[in-house]
Homo-oligomer: A and B are copies of this chain.
Amino acid sequence: MSDSNFRITPQRQVILEELRMADSHLTADEVYKMVRARLPRISLGTVYRNLEIFSRLGMIYKLELGGMQKRFDGKTQDHYHLRCLKCGRIEDVPMEPQTMLEESVEALTDYKVLGHRLEFVGLCLTCREQPETQAHKGA
């Protein structure tokens, strides 16, 4: 792929649409299931290939958080994430990226700091209120 002769095929169209329609943070497999409802013959390999291409082109955002599957996000700009330890739900944090963190680290080390990834973990409202149940699974 030369990144310039990039065609919007039906598969790519549908993958993008589903990613943008979902309230974000889908795993490749979830994207696959959703797309397959509209294009039953699409393959998981195609989904992976195109998610990778989209993210390389900056069309979507690839989340690689700790110890989990990759997730893909229709949004492009950087933001922090918040994960519920009990149900696994992932949400965006309505907080501006703290660039001063990078400045501090650059002052403290001999690295050229190019970015940072910040993830919060905790318990969502639902899971705090239902102490003994697994409220929901997935994104």
Query: Footprint of B on A, CB under 8 Å?
Result: 63-68, 70, 80, 82, 84-85, 91, 93-95, 98, 101-102, 104-106, 108-125, 128
> In the complex, which residues of chain B have a beta carbon less than 8 angstroms from the beta carbon of A118?
101, 116-119
> In the complex, which residues of chain B have a beta carbon less than 8 angstroms from the beta carbon of A113?
82, 120-122
**Are A125's CB and B111's CB within 8 A?**
yes
Nearest B residue to A70, CB-CB: B67
CB distance from A108 to the nearest CB of B (A): 5
**Are A121's CB and B117's CB within 8 A?**
yes
Nearest B residue to A124, CB-CB: B111
Distance, CA A63 to CA B91, complexed state (A): 22
Distance, CA A49 to CA B135, complexed state (A): 29
